[in-house]
Every structure is written in C-alpha cells, then in structure tokens.
Amino acid sequence: MIIKSKFTTISYSLLSFFFTIASLYSQQKTFPLWPDKIPGELKNGDYQEKATYKDSVLLNTSQVTIPTLTIYQPINANGTSVIICPGGGYGHLAMEKEGKKVAEWLNSFGITAFVLKYRLPSDKIMIDKSIGPLQDVQEAIRTVRRKASDWKLDKNKIGILGFSAGGHLAATASTHFKEKVYANDSMSARPDFSLLIYPVISMKNEITHKGSQQNLLGNNPSEESTNRFSNELTVTSETPPAFIIHTTDDKTVVVENSINYYLALKKLFIPTELHLYEKGGHGFGLGVKNTSQFWTSDCIQWLKDHKFL
C-alpha cells in the first residue's frame, strides 16, 4: 500500500497535448453490445435514454436501454485492451470525464480502449435489476475476447477499469465472472486485471455509497443480496490483480471501500497496489488540484511491472 500526502504540480498543457495527439491518431466506432435480444429485458416504450451532449460529444447519460461498446483504437496498438466503466452512482454515466477522456489517455500508450455504456439498474426495464449491469460487463469482456484476433488484441491482456459505481461494476466483474447471469457461450468473462479508481466496493451499510446501493439493490436490500454484491466478501484465489486509488477525504465513497478490497486481495496473495492520497475528494477523473494528478503515471508503471504493457 502506498500512502501519499504531498503533491507535485502537473502540466495540464502536457496532458492536453497527449489527449489531442491520442484523439488525432485513434479510430472510434460504437456498436450495440447485444446485437440480438438483451437478456432479462422488459419492454417499456415510455422509458427513454436521456443524454446530454456538447459539441457532439456525449457528456452524460441516464436511463440507458440499449448498452453499447465504443472502441478507441490507437494507430500503434500493443495488444493490451481495457474496458472502461464510467461512474455515476448507478443512476447516470459520466461518459466524457470517466469514459472518452480516459480512452484517449490509454490510446496514448498504445492501449485499445472500450467505453461501456451499460444499462443502469431499473425495475422498469429489467426482470432483475441487480444483475443488469453485470450482464452487460460480462458480455463486454466476452465480446472483446471473442474478437481479439480481429482487433489484433491479446486475449490474455484484457483489463477492466471503473470509476466510483463503475468501480463497483469492475470489481463485480472481477469477483463474479463465473456467475451465470445470462445464457452465454463458454468464453471466459474474467478480466486479466482491474484498475479501480475511487471505487464503490461494498454494499454494507457501514461503508457503502447509499445512492449506488439503493439504485442497485433497492431501498431495503436483504442480507443475502448485500453480501452477494459486497465485493470485499467475494474475492477468491482467481480474482485478477488490481491497481486501486482513493483519497482519505472522499466524503462520497469512503476510503474503507478500497482498503477492505485491498486487504481481501492481500489475504489471498493476489498482486495488488493501493494508492491513498490525503486530499482530492471524489470524482476527479484523470486528476485535479489537490489530488495526485500522477495516479495515471503510477497506473502505467503498474501495468508495465505486470507485463501488461
């Protein structure tokens, strides 16, 4: 575990330069995650997606009915890929700050990125809302693995990255990949590594993010469902390695979420690295003032150390 309390000023112009270069030298394409029937779907014509755009860029969205994957392909792909799960408390998706911008950053290192626009849990469009996002993330991993050769990817270097509630989904994908939540083929849904950024990990009342818990499990979740989706309790020896960051002053998702997941991984000798920063709050994406604006470089170094880059 790495704890940091002092920060080095980063050149925002340099970051901006990297993102500009990545966007100029990458290809982007969006396609539906489920080309046929969406599992567990309830048809509801009154339930429509609510998306916010600026200059043709999708900023945020909610009430997602048709999940999609958007692939960002760098010119010089190195075979590693990462599926990105934006956050938003399971109530909306921060598609630009925790999606598009992150994909472009990964592209600058030759990583092929996929932004997952997953269904947000709702009884209005799902038979079982607690597994809707899990169905989508499992299928996203299987899709990338199935098409790895087409996209010139290494099927053994497929990672999952999640912010906040997207971090909960990424951790759920890392601990529930054997759980059969829809009819599927034999393709593995296990990510090879996870990158968890100020993640919701637990559904336990003491430390969970109440909005995420309520949206995913309802107002009065049972002990069984709470334990099932508290990922610190579901780590096994097959859970993939993890890189985790959090801030001590995060008042939205308390730092104990990341600490408890780290300890669960450590107990089973699963490679893990946890960076705790004194200040920064919540939802800072790739970095803002008073957070470690260098978590991104720490992450890239971790990927290199584990031979994913």
CATH number for 20: 3.40.50.1820
Q: How large is the angle between the packed helices 165-175 and 132-146, nearest 10 degrees? A: 60
- Return the number of other C-beta atoms located less than 10 Å from residue 291's C-beta: 24
Per-residue model confidence (pLDDT) at position 9: 37
- Mean pLDDT, residues 61-67: 98
Query: pLDDT tens digits for 161-214?
Result: 999 999 999 999 999 999 999 998 889 999 999 999 999 999 999 999 999 999
Computed on alpha carbons and rounded to an integer, the radius of gyration of the chain in Å comes to 18
- Cα gap 308→286, rounded to integer Å: 20
- Cα gap 174→161, rounded to integer Å: 10
Contact indicator for 90, 129 with CB cutoff of 8 Å = no
DSSP letter at 233?
G
More reliable by pLDDT, 294 or 70: 70
Could you tell me the residue range of the domain that residue 63 belongs to? 2-305
Q: Which two tokens stand for residue 133?
A: 């996002």
- Mean pLDDT, residues 259-282: 96
Query: pLDDT tens digits for 47-61?
Result: 999 999 999 999 999
Per-residue model confidence (pLDDT) at position 64: 98
pLDDT at 14 over 70: no
> Into how many domains does the chain fold?
1
- Mean pLDDT, residues 11-32: 61
- Cα gap 47→147, rounded to integer Å: 32
Per-residue model confidence (pLDDT) at position 74: 96
Q: What's the mean per-residue pLDDT of the chain?
A: 92
Bridge partner list, 210: none
If we measure between CA atoms, which residue out of 297, 277, 284, 305 comes closest to residue 18?
297
Question: Which class for 214: exposed (0-12), middle (13-18), buried (19 or more C-beta within 10 A)?
Answer: middle
- Report the relative pairing of strands 2-4 and 272-277 from DSSP bridges: parallel
If we measure between CA atoms, which residue out of 140, 152, 88 comes closest to residue 115?
140
DSSP letter at 232?
G
- Report the relative pairing of strands 158-163 and 81-85 from DSSP bridges: parallel
Per-residue model confidence (pLDDT) at position 291: 61
Half-sphere exposure of 197 (CA within 13 A, CB side): 30
Phi and psi at residue 275, to the nearest 5°? -110, 120
Per-residue model confidence (pLDDT) at position 10: 39
- Mean pLDDT, residues 117-138: 98
Burial 135-160 (b: 16+ CB within 10 A, else e): bbbbbbbbbbbeebeeeebbbebbbb
DSSP letter at 126?
B
Q: Which two tokens stand for residue 119?
A: 């269904």
- Cα gap 260→75, rounded to integer Å: 39
More reliable by pLDDT, 289 or 88: 88
- Mean pLDDT, residues 148-168: 98
Q: Which two tokens stand for residue 106?
A: 């990964």
For residue 60, the surrounding DSSP H or E stretch is strand 57-62
Per-residue model confidence (pLDDT) at position 42: 97
- Cα gap 129→61, rounded to integer Å: 18
190 contact partners, CB below 8 Å, separation of at least 6: 141, 174, 177, 178, 238, 240
Whole-angstrom CA distances from 208 to 67, 88, 119, 240, 284 are 26, 14, 21, 22, 19
DSSP letter at 222?
-
- Cα gap 103→164, rounded to integer Å: 17
Per-residue model confidence (pLDDT) at position 127: 97
Contact indicator for 279, 249 with CB cutoff of 8 Å = yes
